[in-house]
Chains A and B, each alone.
Chain A
Amino acid sequence: MSMTQLPPGFKITRETDSEEFFINMGPQHPSTHGALRLALRMDGETIVEVVPHFGYIHRGLEKQGESMTYLQYIPMTDRQDYLTAIQNNLGVVLAYEKGMNIGVPEKAEYIRVMLSELGRIASHLVFFGCFGGDLGGQTCLLFGFKEREMVHDILEEVTGSRLTTNFFRPGGSRFDVPENFIPRVKAFLDHLEGAMKDYERFLSKNVIALERSVGIGILSKEDAIAFGCSGPVLRASGVDFDVRRANPYSIYDQLDFEVPIAHNGDCHDRYNVRIAEIHESMKILRQCIEKFPKEGPYRSKEKPVKLNPGRYYSEIETAKGLYGTYVVAASGDKPYRIHTRGPSFPHIGVLNKMCQGGKISDLVVVMATLDPVIPEIDR
């Protein structure tokens, strides 16, 4: 389609003599967080309607998955939500385990929870940076990425890769963790404890950040549920829903943590919920360090490659929200159909609702607090 045509999808009809105009934002734009295109209908500086156009990074992962073996598909999940690739691995592996009837040893469960929580911290630190950066404070970007690199050092030592981890396997994980894993995590947590104080002093009470985010992009509780939002976006609107609590997987039912909730549903609440989640993740990690079993296998001895015919669904709570995997297994070592439900897709669906009547500069803040990852939407 030619880029100069008037984009389709606008629903509001207006008189032809109105002074409205259209702005095309993306697919290459620094604050759309990837290849997302937004068609904006403007009245002066006020947004009348936002229409998102997806598909600029649609890579046909689901079609491709049908010709790959189950295990070959695990690295493909890394490339969906690359900010927390390790959690996506967990999501797909949990679905496989239901079909393989394979158990997971205790140590593997702890490795899974610890790496997932480290991934959550890394993702929320990127959010912290991008939120500050989109408000105009480039310093936040530098700060957020500084601690994130430390998480990636740990991940690299354990999994062998910084970003695309490809680590979990049905029945456990690919390798055992190295000896200095626990001391390293402990040292990182001690460091982050101090760093978080700095961060919060920097942005949480910052007058400019408050002016730009309090009361901006309000998402009501009813809309958040109806549009299928999940994760911090849903919790910032006052809904107490976390998959780790509601439908616990792995050993999350044995860990003591709070589910942070806010009630206004504006940008500042979404920021606050994420910062509180970093603290909760740290709490979980500290408990895991206490309980981490020294002995025992890190994976099941069996290495199955096939699933029993049937349909399997797993859901986990990634840093962005509810990540579901639906696998239809037939005979053979390849899935008949594999489908991913990513959390970012509904979040962009609700963007129009949140931005209508707001200013165009607020759209950037709303996008930052939704924290979408576009390849996970397009797949």
Chain B
Amino acid sequence: MGIINFAPKILDPIPGGKYVVNAIDYVVNWARANSIWPLTYGTSCCAIEMMSSSMARYDIARFGSEVFRASPRQADLFILAGTITRRMAPAIQMLWEQMPGPKYVLAMGACTISGGPFVYDNYSVVRGAQNILPVDVFVPGCPPRPEALFHGLLTLREKILKETCRNPWHEGDTQDLSQLDRYREAAKAWAELEKIKDEEMAEARAKFKEENPDYKSSFKPVRVTKEAFPEIAREHEISLAEKSSKGLSKADMFKALKNKFASVTITGVTAETPEALAEAETAAVAALTADSVLEVRLNAEDYLAAVEFVKNDPAFKMDYLIDVTAIDYPDHFELITMLKSLEKKHQLFLCVPLAKDESIAAEKRATSILAKVPSVSHLYAAAEIKEREVYDMFGIKFEGHQDMRRIFLDPEFEGFPLRKDFTNPNMIKRPV
């Protein structure tokens, strides 16, 4: 590009030379605008629409952009298809730096414009591609239709056609970007507007209350009994209840576990005397409907033995681990291990309350591990990544796990997001 950039300096002073420069501009821009090669890059939903637009129905080749390049060194256009996360942002910047100039960036979809659906209460999404890269064209939509992407491409084409070698494109121009979070400013302005509106409306609201003292908001109470519709004509005889009764019934499962482990109870059932408790538990198990799952609660000491028992016991034969997850309550965590038997078709959820470690100082609690529990990854290979996820999100350590690292977040990330008291400077609270 060097020669073309020097052409105006030499040719413009010569009489008639500017027409030559214009002609060079015309030819160069015509070539550039009609063969924009995009980079094969996509993170989420928008990538599928980008693929659709290059396939038979929409045919991006009509606009000269069918050559999707897998290497950034051969690409002209960076279509940012999909949400940009804080972890992905350095990789995106690295890709952009590898692209040869002139290079263009097209931000596709709501996520790359403002964060889209992931604006509020989010600690990991970059709110808008303009915060990390210079963007040429924004294409709104969630995700944008292929036609919208084409409109974006044509807009970019118009932009390219207006370029001239008198004002060449310098990489330095785009290097110093304002890192301003525009969204935050807009949110602040919006909050102020809301405040003004509230003040203006206060009088009218007071008046309304005076005139309608009995007014209630229209929320309906929650249903207690199941709504019934006319029975669907059943041609086949297999019903849900029969299907699920192939394996152990819920009562049998509970009985067997209760005999083996004394600490086993049903979640949410409490009573004063042991006899009353046993009665209430039996009633609770009997009340479970065919499409619900038996959830038993047991102490952390029994957890590993219980999982081993239900895996190896020939009556249970729980060979399949659906998931391991946790819930954060103010005073304890609850670890939930979801198990299933592929052969016998019954399911069992084990809930293990884990007390939070009280010995850790208040200011360090947010970033330190508060509970420990034995790992079941040697029994179920599937537990390996699931337990890493629980560790990453809640800060519960699994003892005996071979590879206890964070799985979704950076190793340097501070705090555990799914705890209720988690705070992060990047989070914007959802207005109520």
B143 touches A34 (CB 8 A): no
Q: How far is the CA of A126 from the CA of B44 in the complex (A)?
A: 15
A326 touches B411 (CB 8 A): no
Taking the closest CB of chain B, its distance from the CB of A74, in whole angstroms, is: 12
| In the complex, residue of chain A having the shortest beta-carbon distance to the beta carbon of B51 | A145
Q: How far is the CA of A230 from the CA of B244 in the complex (A)?
A: 19
> Given A149-B57, A241-B342, is A100 in contact with B223 using a C-beta cutoff of 8 Å?
yes
Tell me if A111 is interfacial: C-beta within 8 Å of chain B: no
B236 touches A59 (CB 8 A): no
Q: How far is the CA of A100 from the CA of B220 in the complex (A)?
A: 12
Of the listed stretches A39-47, A273-281, A297-305, chain B binds A297-305
Neighbour of A63 across the interface among B90, B117, B230, B417, CB < 8 A: B417
A326 touches B90 (CB 8 A): no
B120 touches A339 (CB 8 A): no
A375 touches B43 (CB 8 A): yes
Tell me if A92 is interfacial: C-beta within 8 Å of chain B: no
B327 touches A226 (CB 8 A): no
Question: In chain B between 26 and 58, which residues have their CB closer than 8 angstroms to a CB of chain A?
Answer: 40-45, 47-49, 51-52, 55-57
Tell me if A177 is interfacial: C-beta within 8 Å of chain B: no
A227 touches B342 (CB 8 A): no
Q: How far is the CA of A126 from the CA of B52 in the complex (A)?
A: 10
| In the complex, residue of chain B having the shortest beta-carbon distance to the beta carbon of A229 | B382
Q: How far is the CA of A67 from the CA of B420 in the complex (A)?
A: 11
Please give, as numbers and ranges, the residues of chain A lying within 8 Å of B422 by CB-CB distance: 63
A60 touches B407 (CB 8 A): no
A3 touches B94 (CB 8 A): yes
Neighbour of A59 across the interface among B49, B85, B319, B393, CB < 8 A: B85
Taking the closest CB of chain B, its distance from the CB of A143, in whole angstroms, is: 8
Tell me if A286 is interfacial: C-beta within 8 Å of chain B: no
| In the complex, residue of chain A having the shortest beta-carbon distance to the beta carbon of B244 | A247
Question: In chain A between 91 and 107, which residues have their CB closer than 8 angstroms to a CB of chain B?
Answer: 98, 100-106
Tell me if B360 is interfacial: C-beta within 8 Å of chain A: no
Interface string of B356-370 (1 = CB under 8 A from A): 000000000000000
Question: In chain B between 379 and 412, which residues have their CB closer than 8 angstroms to a CB of chain A?
Answer: 380-382, 384-386, 393, 402-403, 405-412
Question: In chain B between 330 and 354, which residues have their CB closer than 8 angstroms to a CB of chain A?
Answer: 336, 338, 342, 345, 347, 349
Taking the closest CB of chain B, its distance from the CB of A83, in whole angstroms, is: 7
A225 touches B226 (CB 8 A): no
Please give, as numbers and ranges, the residues of chain A lying within 8 Å of B236 by CB-CB distance: 253-254, 256
Taking the closest CB of chain B, its distance from the CB of A34, in whole angstroms, is: 6
Tell me if B124 is interfacial: C-beta within 8 Å of chain A: yes
B88 touches A11 (CB 8 A): no
Neighbour of A101 across the interface among B224, B325, B347, CB < 8 A: B224
A341 touches B322 (CB 8 A): yes
Question: In chain B between 301 and 322, which residues have their CB closer than 8 angstroms to a CB of chain A?
Answer: 319-322
Q: How far is the CA of A300 from the CA of B226 in the complex (A)?
A: 12
Taking the closest CB of chain A, its distance from the CB of B289, in whole angstroms, is: 8
Tell me if A56 is interfacial: C-beta within 8 Å of chain B: yes
B382 touches A305 (CB 8 A): no
Tell me if B215 is interfacial: C-beta within 8 Å of chain A: no
| In the complex, residue of chain A having the shortest beta-carbon distance to the beta carbon of B295 | A311
Tell me if A362 is interfacial: C-beta within 8 Å of chain B: no
Neighbour of A313 across the interface among B117, B293, B393, CB < 8 A: B293
Tell me if A109 is interfacial: C-beta within 8 Å of chain B: yes
Count A-side interface residues using an 8 Å CB cutoff: 95
Tell me if A128 is interfacial: C-beta within 8 Å of chain B: no
Please give, as numbers and ranges, the residues of chain B lying within 8 Å of A152 by CB-CB distance: 52
Neighbour of A375 across the interface among B45, B223, B385, CB < 8 A: B45
Please give, as numbers and ranges, the residues of chain B lying within 8 Å of A248 by CB-CB distance: 238, 240, 243
Question: In chain A between 203 and 259, which residues have their CB closer than 8 angstroms to a CB of chain B?
Answer: 223, 225-228, 239, 241, 246-249, 251, 253-254, 256
Tell me if A79 is interfacial: C-beta within 8 Å of chain B: yes
Taking the closest CB of chain B, its distance from the CB of A139, in whole angstroms, is: 10
> Given A228-B321, A253-B239, A346-B382, is A57 in contact with B83 using a C-beta cutoff of 8 Å?
yes
Q: How far is the CA of A339 from the CA of B94 in the complex (A)?
A: 33
Please give, as numbers and ranges, the residues of chain A lying within 8 Å of B47 by CB-CB distance: 34
Tell me if A163 is interfacial: C-beta within 8 Å of chain B: yes
Taking the closest CB of chain B, its distance from the CB of A93, in whole angstroms, is: 14
Please give, as numbers and ranges, the residues of chain B lying within 8 Å of A164 by CB-CB distance: 45, 142-143
Q: How far is the CA of A61 from the CA of B45 in the complex (A)?
A: 15
Taking the closest CB of chain A, its distance from the CB of B151, in whole angstroms, is: 16
A101 touches B223 (CB 8 A): yes
Tell me if B14 is interfacial: C-beta within 8 Å of chain A: no
Q: How far is the CA of A28 from the CA of B71 in the complex (A)?
A: 9
Among B117, B120, B338, find the residue whose CB has the most chain A CB atoms closer than 10 A: B117
A226 touches B232 (CB 8 A): no
A1 touches B235 (CB 8 A): no
Tell me if A349 is interfacial: C-beta within 8 Å of chain B: yes
Interface string of A331-357 (1 = CB under 8 A from B): 000001101010001101110000000
Neighbour of A28 across the interface among B41, B51, B386, CB < 8 A: B41
Interface string of B115-135 (1 = CB under 8 A from A): 001101111110000000000
Tell me if B430 is interfacial: C-beta within 8 Å of chain A: yes
Tell me if A261 is interfacial: C-beta within 8 Å of chain B: no
Taking the closest CB of chain B, its distance from the CB of A190, in whole angstroms, is: 19
Taking the closest CB of chain A, its distance from the CB of B123, in whole angstroms, is: 6
| 9 pairs of A and B residues whose beta carbons are closest in the complex | A228-B382, A145-B55, A55-B408, A103-B227, A58-B408, A82-B45, A101-B223, A341-B323, A226-B381
Cross-chain pairs A/B with CB under 8 angstroms, 13 sampled? A34-B42, A34-B43, A57-B44, A58-B408, A59-B83, A63-B422, A103-B229, A104-B229, A146-B55, A163-B49, A247-B243, A310-B268, A346-B382
Q: A67-B121, A300-B227 are in contact. List 15 more A-B contacts (CB 8 A).
A: A11-B403, A29-B70, A54-B407, A59-B83, A67-B429, A101-B225, A126-B48, A227-B381, A253-B240, A254-B232, A256-B236, A306-B219, A341-B323, A349-B384, A349-B385
